[in-house]
Copies of this chain bind each other. A is one copy, B any other.
Amino acid sequence: MEISVIKIGGNVIDHPEKASEFLRAFAALPGYKILIHGGGVLASRIGKSLGITPQMVDGRRITDAKTLEVVTMVYAGLINKQLVAQLQAFGQNAIGMTGADGNVVQSVKRPVGAIDYGFVGDVVAVNTDLLASLISQSIAPVICAITHNKQGQLLNTNADTIASTIATELAKSHTVNLFFCFDRAGVLMDEKNDESLIPLINEDIYEELKRDKVIHSGMIPKLENAFEALHKGVNHVWMGLPENLHLAVKGKNAGTTIQSLKYGLF
């Protein structure tokens, strides 16, 4: 079967009207679909109210025991359940999950190297049977950025990585398209100008854009991640605005499509 794996970023989560508009569109999308979400600013805000100061090392958040409790409450509790309740209202049956639920995404605690990230997980396995079973019953899994190590420990996990790992694992037996919805029209020549959209990126274009510093910092891991998914059998990767997702799912290019030159060899 053909499956859309869709990841939404904090910019959707943080704005109730945007989230509602997105969820209405998600519910109306044809075919089988899985939603992955992170946290947005809500976790930091609630953490602060609870007296927990975010600890950052090299711009990356450290997840200590208290922070893990906050992200578990906010991602798996508040955000996940509000998303699911709204999808139900739009007529889309959905089940909210962490990686622990149904053992759907298993990870290992990141080894302590130069930096100790704390309770952060790197994905090692996906229960594709359960995901396939749910979507074939027209139930959309809504998966948040919390996984587990199958030894009782919950772990904070990057939502982009969860999305691409789920997509690549499902791609072993299904046709999978991967969609990243964020706060830009796609990958841009000039990051301040949505008009400067680059509609298509392949490995050659990517190397050129990277060399010319058009693509830099946070976009590099996002695109590396996308190519890795393509090389592992994902059909298409798309990045763009949540409000253009319905066009992208229909194959219209209303964002940036990432394609592999090696496509077809796999």
Chain A residues engaging chain B, CB cutoff 8 angstroms:
46, 49-51, 69, 72-78, 80-82, 84-86, 88-89, 93-98, 100-103, 130, 133, 137, 139, 146, 148, 150-154
- Asked if A152 and B86 sit within 8 Å, CB to CB, the answer is yes
Contacts of A98 on B, CB cut-off 8 Å? Answer: 81, 84, 96
How long is the Cα–Cα vector from A95 to B105 in the complex, in angstroms?
Answer: 12
Instruction: Report which of B49, B72, B81, B151 forms a contact with A100, defined as CB distance below 8 A.
Output: B81
A-B pairs, top 4 by smallest CB distance, nearest first, are: A77-B77, A89-B152, A73-B73, A73-B77
Whether A137 contacts B146 in the complex (CB less than 8 A), given A77-B77, A81-B76, A101-B95, comes out as: no
Instruction: Report which of B51, B75, B80, B139 forms a contact with A102, defined as CB distance below 8 A.
Output: B139
- Asked if B151 and A89 sit within 8 Å, CB to CB, the answer is yes
The distance from the CB of A128 to the nearest CB of chain B, in whole angstroms, is 14
- 13 more contacts with CB within 8 A, not counting A81-B100, A86-B152, are A46-B73, A50-B50, A72-B78, A76-B80, A81-B101, A81-B154, A88-B103, A88-B152, A93-B103, A95-B101, A96-B98, A130-B139, A133-B137
Closest to A86 in B: B152
The distance from the CB of A109 to the nearest CB of chain B, in whole angstroms, is 13
Of the listed residues A46, A49, A101, A154, the one surrounded by the most CB atoms of chain B closer than 10 A to its CB is A101
